[in-house]
Amino acid sequence: MKKIAKLFGVLIGTAFLVFVLDIGCIFRTLTGFPCMGCGVTRAFLAFLQGHVVDAFYYHPLFWLTGILIVLALWKDGMVFRSAKANRWFWIIVLLVYLSVYIVRMVLLFPDTPPMDYNYEAPAYHLYQYILELFTKSS
C-alpha cells in the first residue's frame, strides 16, 4: 500500500508542477540548453491525446521513462536482486539516454523544439554580460 501511495504522490506532484506551476525543464530554464529528458512531458501529453508519432518526435524514449520511474519507485531503484546487475542496468539506461540525447542535439539543436536553445536563460544573459565586458575593454 505504501508503494501505491508513493507512486500516487509522485503522479500528483508531477501533475502539479506541469499543469499548475508550468515550470518546464529547470535545467533548460537556467542554462538555456535542453537536458536528456527534454520533451518527455510533451511526449506523454501527445501520447495521451492519441498523437503517437508526435510523442516519439518529442522524445523517442518517453515510453521507457514511464516504465523506469515506476520501476525505480516500486522497487526502490533495485530492479535486480544483485547490486552489480542493478548498477549495470542503470549504467546502460544512462548510456541509452545519453546516446539519444547526443543524436537529438546533433540533429535538432539549437533551432528545433524540443531541443531548441532558450535565449531567456540566466546563463545566456551572464555569458552576454561577460562577453560585453571583454569586448568593450579591448
Statement: residue 138 has pLDDT above 60 = no
Got the DSSP string for 72-84? HHHTTT-SSSSHH
Query: Average pLDDT of the chain?
Result: 90
Give the pLDDT band (50/70/90) at residue 25. Answer: confident
pLDDT at 48: 95
Average pLDDT over residues 88-92: 96
Statement: residue 34 has pLDDT above 90 = yes
Residue 64 or residue 26, greater confidence:
64
Spatial separation of the C-alpha atoms in residues 124 and 130, rounded to whole Å: 10
For residue 55, the tally of other CB atoms under 10 A from its CB is: 22
- Please report, for residues 31, 53, 58, 67, 104, the alpha-carbon distance to residue 93 in angstroms, rounded to integers and kept in the order given: 24, 23, 19, 12, 17
Statement: residue 49 has pLDDT above 70 = yes
